[in-house]
Amino acid sequence: MDELQRLIWEGENDTVDFKQRITKPEKISRTLVSFANTRGGVILVGVKDNGYVCGVDPEEEKHTLQLAADFYCDPPVHLLYEEIDQDDRVVLKVTVPESMHKPHFAKLKEDDWRGFVRVKDTSVQTSKMVNKALHQAPEQFEPLPLNRHEETLLEYLRLHPRITVRQFMKLANLSERRAYRTLVKLVIHGYILLHDKEKEDFYTLV
């Protein structure tokens, strides 16, 4: 199985996204930013959501992608392109490396820039606190001496995609105030990310 087939077979996840076409730079900018702000990722253009290879005109797609990366992402996001032939069709493999210049913001409309991170197979809008934490490059984070509750939390997140304050209170048998303070401390020190745009706040591993 070649690399393209392997990526398609594994499906969309926190580092892989399928796109049939790239039509709107403001829409794809969210995906570019979410990969750059998280662990990096690959966009396969010319692949439908179900994994069917429909192929594209790579030059046309590159034009829209570059427009998105340069003018709809701030700071601009670096992209690497590779054209892959599959059954007489071309798939454009777009690699977005994890950025050294976090946080990046995507332009949704005039004067409306927002940060995104990748959680599983979607781009999730970040909060101000996450943006603040992202501003510090990973090498600036001093590894903390972690206590039992913090270790328990990180262990849980290695096995599960997310956790809420309520779940952590139950898991570590902590009061709400203490659970929340622990979570905030780990966000500030770059261990976890806070997502506060849904009904209930939740946290994920960085």
pLDDT at 8: 96
**Domain with 148 in it: what CATH number?**
1.10.10.10
Among 82, 97, 124, which residue terminates a domain?
124
Give the predicted TM-score (pTM) of the model: 0.68
Does residue 114 sit in the same domain as residue 26? yes
Does residue 109 sit in the same domain as residue 136? no
**Domain with 49 in it: what CATH number?**
3.30.950.30
Please give the single-letter amino acid code of residue 167: Q
Does residue 66 sit in the same domain as residue 157? no
Among 107, 124, 141, which residue terminates a domain?
124
Task: Tell me the percentage of the chain whose pLDDT exceeds 70.
Answer: 91
pLDDT in tens, 172-200: 999 887 888 788 778 767 789 888 777 88
Please give the single-letter amino acid code of residue 84: I
Does residue 32 sit in the same domain as residue 46? yes
d(CA 66, CA 139): 29
H or E element at residue 86: strand 80-86
**Domain, as residue range, for 101:** 3-124
